[in-house]
Amino acid sequence: MDENCEVKPQHKKTTAEEYQKTRLAMLVVTGMGCPNCAARVNNSLIALYGVTDVKVNHVIGSAQVTFNPDLVVFPALIEAVAQAGNDGQHAYRATLTNTFW
């Protein structure tokens, strides 16, 4: 882990609308090599309107995303993971493995 590469996980205040009808999605995420990678993926996902909680594990390559499916769709989750590596030095990919309704 590069000491100049520190990324702090972001948090947000979610709205009542975001909390309505939340569901859980499990993603397999590739390309993460350290806690900073996990923080990048976390920050990109939590920034989406409709996402209320994210737990990313770089060791096993997973992201658990709690979201409102009326406000954010699966392709947006996948794209947010890919965009987390938009600095030209990182490349992340995600696939949906399971959802809990």
pLDDT at residue 4 in the model: 54
CB atoms under 10 Å from CB of 40, counted, come to: 26
pLDDT, tens digit (0-9, with 9 covering 90-100), for 17-62: 998 899 999 999 999 999 999 999 999 999 999 999 999 999 999 9
Domain ranges of the chain: 20-100
Provide CB contacts within 8 A for 5, sequence distance 6+: 34, 36
**Average pLDDT score over residue span 54-74:** 97
Out of 2.40.30.170, 3.30.70.100, 2.60.120.10, 3.20.20.70, select the CATH number for domain 20-100: 3.30.70.100
Q: Are 45 and 65 in contact (CB under 8 A)?
A: yes
pLDDT at residue 1 in the model: 46
Cα–Cα distance, 93 to 81 (Å, whole number): 6
Residue 6 has pLDDT above 80, yes or no: no
pTM across the whole model: 0.87
